[in-house]
A and B are shown apart, each in its own frame.
Chain A
């Protein structure tokens, strides 16, 4: 048995690395990015737990109003005036209470799921639009539609949208539409797809000329298969980077909208509107401001660090062949 071991070892080394393994190997060495990744994994777990514990199996009730216990500091215990049914879990307000005596810990738990889903849904919308428009412009761009080329039409449209003052546009639309969390997700998504479209178009233009795509054409594969099986996976690496940073941007935008009074409506809690409401009590109850603010800072920082780590790991110039 021992005689075979070196040969097996050699075979294993000879096996080519998949692109995913290459990226992962570089990414793993970036300590900041790895810290960000751990935070994000923890956050997703926390968000799911939050959904579970505040809605399906209510351990922490984010909506329970306890007027005798207004603006209690963190780790304080409820007063005797609170009815037994409304006592917080474990008998402690971990993060204190707000101006209506609601448990801030429960609200933060609920908000983690809402804030995260705002980020993810908004970015999914922007990715779907960006990849579609960029892909169409890159793949079918040379075709004509009347006197115009498809590429020209789609990219001029992208230019038009790029010229809108984004935040002002978001504000206008959110203010005019009926207040709803879905509108906010949709509006953020609809105003942030332009850079994705440009990336994907540029990638498609160069991929279209590559040998493996030409070979796929020569083999007579259907076009949809060439696009989705062969080209899209190769065009995705810049998209991943911008997606991760866009989630961060969407969470920040949601909190900015809350600050201006156009955010997600109560009673649904997001980190943004807990923070925005907390500013009225900044001197009396600083924890109402500090806790959601730090939470947003940490999470957005994690998304940014992971995005930058991915960008470095996917950049072949920075990636070394030897491990």
Chain B
């Protein structure tokens, strides 16, 4: 067990190094440089460009830039090209903004998709099953920003309430309770939207739950449980569901990287100042240190997620042995 953990840890670290090297390659070899953000600016002279390139070490050979980045990242001195501030505190601040949205979305997704999926599997072929199946496909297929805009339009026109941003403009003059309610309201709509229409949202997960349940309901031990005369609820929730849940332990691991990658669209739609927006602005400004660090963190989160889910799986399922 411990040997397995150490070995995977070592492999994952190696993988992370490769990922950071490749992402450096992509960012530095692709055309498009920080000096070209505003190519039409007449005040930009050749010597300015040269000065900027020198200040950002863009003329150094590739491996030196990589080593510089690595050194600065781990000593905490990595500065953004855009505003000259250290990268990590900025990411941390935005992470704190993204976190409530991420937690609410995840809770919504998991609490909604399990009952839906289980019910659909148990009543396979019923009207309920067909309707939820079709709805799930429709939600997977709709462009998320299209649906979100329709919802925003509805809320604004019918309820006359603002939905964009972290809080309503001017709400900081209110007392604590209305301010908290305002924040919660501003959290609700984007969380609901990314839970419904997100890439790892209710639609996908409930389909997966349904498929898993169907698989398990066909097994011999479920037939045995029924043959023993157990009540149907006990068969489904005790015998079937517990086995159907096993693969979802691994899904926990894949949730983590969604913090950065899948949030870009929804944070952009709802003007939510989180990690996704930070990444978007960094890409627009060709802020190499910020892009690379975010990419690095996302990859690290993915690897940590896989690692955690491997361990969880071994803990939950006695048939799996880590070796």
By a beta-carbon cutoff of 8 Å, the part of chain A in contact with chain B is 32, 156, 159-160, 162-169, 171-173, 175-178, 248, 252, 255-256, 259-260, 272, 275-276, 279, 282-283, 289, 293, 296-297, 300-301, 303-305, 308
Contact = CB atoms under 8 A, between A and B. Distances in A.
B286 A169 contact: no
A86 B146 CA distance: 31
Contacts, number: 122
Interface residues of B, number: 43
A259 B141 contact: no
Given A163-B15, A165-B261, A279-B149, A304 B140 contact: yes
Contacts of B144: 256
A164 B26 CA distance: 12
B299 A165 contact: yes
A163 B260 CA distance: 12
Interface string B78-106: 00000000000000000000000000000
B138 A301 contact: yes
B318 interface: no
Contacts of A283: 153
B27 to A, nearest CB: 7
Nearest to B303: A163
5 contacts: A169-B23, A171-B264, A260-B268, A293-B150, A305-B137
B31 A178 contact: yes
Interface string B144-185: 111001100100000000000000000000000000000000
A282 B153 contact: yes
Of the listed residues B146, B150, B260, B302, the one surrounded by the most CB atoms of chain A closer than 10 A to its CB is B146
A171 B283 contact: yes
B298 A300 contact: no
B31 A177 contact: yes
B245 interface: no
B145 A256 contact: yes
Given A176-B27, A176-B30, A304-B141, A171 B286 contact: no
Nearest to A301: B141
B249 interface: no
Given A160-B19, A163-B19, A260-B280, A168 B295 contact: yes
A282 B134 CA distance: 27
B141 A159 contact: no
A296 B291 CA distance: 31
B247 interface: no
B76 interface: no
Contacts of A173: 26, 30
B238 to A, nearest CB: 25
B280 A176 contact: no
Given A159-B15, A177-B32, 4 more contacts: A162-B302, A168-B295, A176-B286, A255-B146
B262 interface: yes
Contacts of A308: 137
Nearest 3 A/B pairs, CB to CB: A165-B261, A300-B141, A176-B32
Contacts of A163: 15, 19, 299, 302-303
A296 B143 contact: yes
Nearest to B286: A176
B283 A172 contact: yes
B274 interface: no
Contacts of B149: 279, 282, 289
Contacts of A159: 15
Contact of B141 (A32, A176, A297): A297
A164 B134 contact: no
Contacts of B286: 175-176
Contacts of B15: 156, 159-160, 163
B299 A293 contact: no
B299 A164 contact: yes
B265 interface: yes
A248 B30 contact: no
A252 B143 contact: yes
Contact of A164 (B143, B262, B291, B295): B295
B67 interface: no
A168 B260 CA distance: 8
Contacts of A300: 140-142
B272 to A, nearest CB: 14
B24 to A, nearest CB: 12
